[in-house]
Amino acid sequence: MIKKTVRGLAAAVLTVLPLFSASPAQAVEVLPLADAVQQLPLADESREGYERTSFKHWVDADRDRCNTRMEVLIAESRVEPTIEGACKVVAGEWYSYYDGFTLTEPGGLDIDHMVPLAEAWDSGASAWSADRREAYANDLDAERSLVAVTARSNRSKSDQDPATWLPPLADARCTYATDWVSTKLRWGLSVDQPEADALAELAEGCGQETVEYEPVV
Region 44-54: mean pLDDT is 97
Q: What is the CA radius of gyration of the chain?
A: 17
58 lies in a domain? yes
- Structural domains in the chain (count): 1
Give 100's DSSP letter. T
4 lies in a domain? no
- Where does the chain show beta strands of DSSP type E? 29-32, 82-84, 88-91, 94-96, 101-103, 109-113, 146-150, 210-213
Q: For residue 2, which of 127, 113, 140, 97 has the smallest C-alpha distance?
A: 97
132 lies in a domain? yes
CA dihedral sign, ordered 136, 137, 140, 143: positive
89 lies in a domain? yes
207 lies in a domain? yes
- pLDDT tens sequence across 172-181: 999 999 999 9
pLDDT classification of 27: cutoffs 50, 70, 90: confident
154 lies in a domain? yes
2 lies in a domain? no
Given a cut of 90, is residue 115 above it in pLDDT?
yes
1 lies in a domain? no
> In which domain, by residue range, is 61 found?
11-213
Whether residue 58 is preceded by a cis peptide bond, meaning omega within 30 degrees of 0, is yes
- pLDDT tens sequence across 138-168: 999 999 999 999 999 999 999 999 999 999 9
Rounded to two decimals, the pTM is 0.88
Given a cut of 90, is residue 117 above it in pLDDT?
yes
